[in-house]
Structure 1
Amino acid sequence: MTERAGLGERVAAGDAELFKALAHPARVHVLAVLASGPASVAELCSATGLKPSHLAGHLAQLRAQHLVSGRRTGGRLQYWLSVPEIADLLLVAESVLRARAAADAGGLARIRESQAVSGGLEAAVLTDQSAAVLEESLGRRALVTDAVRTVSARTGRTTEQVLAGFLTEARERSLTLAEVSGEAVADSGAR
């Protein structure tokens, strides 16, 4: 195994551990609260609705990944983001989720339109036209996934960095994520 491949595997394993820490909605909520600034245990419990014992477990996992730090000041235990960029990661994740929801909503809207055109069936019937719309939506999602992986492998950037770049470019150029991804794949093929 080459040194670069070994580094890539270690980075991927680190990414996986990071995302395991972010895999629980309560931990993401804690990070979102801390993105606004330091907070005490009582403030975190109030903001998240977690019991102190549950919050302690989530904070332990976040501390193990070096995402939050804590210190007792003035008799109160305060926590804050150890890595301020985690707030940016949360914003990017929110953008990705919004884009996915919009793509899903667009696909569902076209399915509803095709059903209305084909006789206004109220039941969820998968017609040839709605199947084609669904297939197109899934194809766009696969295109984005493949483009992110291709650019990540070519550049050494993480998939999150590549996706964030695609989202930014799509917004700046008023394109869809699929259009930007398609261009990236075409550029990769030209090289």
Structure 2
Amino acid sequence: MSKVTRRECREVLFQCLYSAAFNRDESLDTFLHTFFHSPRFITLLSDSYFLEMYSGVRAKSSELSRLIAHFAPKFELPLISIANLLSVYIASYEMLYLSPELRPDSRISINEGIGLSKTFCDESNKRLTNGVLHSISADLDASRAIALNATITTRDIYSEDLVADSAQIASVRLEDAFLAPTQKQLDRASRRAFDIDSLSVTQNIRQSQKNV
């Protein structure tokens, strides 16, 4: 029996999440056994990637919706169908929240997200998926540079493991786009003698420390 490929896994995941959006009481086990009769797909019930993605996307749906609203302000979120949202949810979660040992390169996540959009969504969704995912990827690239700098400039204050995961820092930075720092936070950062250009890095690392 051949193993389920990651692409097949995403397609099954999409369908499971779509069903869960309308049938919240239906278990994952029931859905797979009802609609995917091949034993190959039943093995997903013990697949680490599949299980984390299924539970994670559902848990982070509010945060992922906020990202879509931020990076695609011309789209009215309440008017976007569940199917059109899910392709963005899945790829975004991979890039931002998936465990590092399971996380693919962001380019793969983007391509696979666009692939899901082509398979399951209407033509209008391609622009939404492409735009949001590339924006998140660009933010991740910027965060890697911030993380590299942070390991040097804050070595004597914060342990390096707090800045090792650039995706975690990126998710904090993206959330900061919606929740501006208070004056009290800025004053506290200033008292630590960081220059003004490093304030955003300081706040992100503090937030990461709280989330660990």
TM-score range, shorter chain: 0.3 to 0.5
Tell me which structure has the larger Cα radius of gyration: 1
TM-score (normalised: structure 1): 0.35
**Which fold has the larger relative contact order, with Cα–Cα distance below 8 Å and residues 6 or more apart in sequence?**
2
TM-score (normalised: structure 2): 0.33
Structure in which a larger fraction of residues adopt strand: 1
